Amino acid sequence: MILTRLLLGLGTLFVVSLLIFFAVETLPGDLAQEILGQSATPETVAAFRKQLGLDLPAHIRYYSWLSGVVSGDMGTSLANGRTIASLISARLENTMFLAALAAVISVPLALFLGIVSALYRNSFLDKLINTTALTAISTPEFFVAYILILFLSVKAGLFPSISNISNTLSMSEFLYRSMLPALTLTLGVVAHMMRMTRAAIINLLASPYIEMAHLKGLSRTRIILHHALPNALAPIINVVLLNLAYLIVGVVIVEVVFVYPGMGQLLVDSVANRDLPVVQACSLIFAATYILLNLLADVLSVASNPRLLHPR
């Protein structure tokens, strides 16, 4: 099963690489002309196109780019001449740290709220939690970010509105400056995980073995934690890992709002500078991360419920 999923993931990544490369190819304008400016002579533009390899057919350039990526060479940035690998490495670490911080906050909170909502189904507390969750899902992330900046930064002064981080900061200062973007991401994903946890547990509460546990006199808390929750792990693991994937690949807007030096900010800056090799590399890394976490979700779901290996 793992091998099949891995081969499907590699095939998907190959198709995504084709889409990324040829989508960049269809962008309007001449890259060489954009970099050199309108005052450049046609001879200079032609020489620069040859230097960049833009005079070669698209399929040859795609093969050269893909073979370089497979061998670990992502190319060179057109904006500053640095290797893309060195340019991305620090930004990727920052994005992974931000995603991990948001996950540490959101996953326990979502599981707790989902269990509480299932315990007190149809009560005022359940309706309040669900209404808040639906509101959080429906609100755009950039709006949530600006609301948090207004109340937690401008009015309360608890956190800085700009996440100006660097490797010279201590861990506590790093956490402090990353808290606002992490809270923004948390509000965006905790609602999905909470509602899936609630739905999975409520679906199991109608099972015969749960009714037997009720007849034996067990408390509702013990029934949910020791009987319902372990059997609801497969869908919960799926939604948690898919939201973790979103935390990593969906940080673009949040990083731009808080000027957080991660992959999302690098992607936006590279698009603005028409640094197409960096755009392609960032897009491919985001796609690979999403596919890998989907594979991990499948494996862990089967590990928590082996019956999924033999569906009826």
pLDDT digits (tens, 9 = 90+) for 121-131: 888 998 998 88
Q: Are 198 and 118 in contact (CB under 8 A)?
A: yes
pLDDT, tens digit, for every residue of 180-236?
Answer: 999 998 888 888 888 888 888 888 877 888 888 878 888 877 887 787 777 777 778
Residue 97 has pLDDT above 80, yes or no: yes
Question: Residue 37: in which H helix or E strand, if any?
Answer: none
Cα 230 vs. chain centroid, distance in angstroms?
Answer: 26
Residue 36 has pLDDT above 80, yes or no: no
- Confidence bin at 306 (pLDDT 50/70/90): low
User: pTM score, two decimals?
Assistant: 0.83
- Cβ neighbours of residue 180 closer than 8 Å, sequence gap 6 or more: 145, 148, 149, 152, 153, 159, 160, 161, 163, 258
- Confidence bin at 15 (pLDDT 50/70/90): very high
- Confidence bin at 74 (pLDDT 50/70/90): confident
Please give the backbone phi and psi of residue 76, each rounded to the nearest 5 degrees, phi first. -125, 140
Cα 295 vs. chain centroid, distance in angstroms?
Answer: 15
pLDDT, averaged across the chain:
84
Mean pLDDT to the nearest integer, 127-140: 86
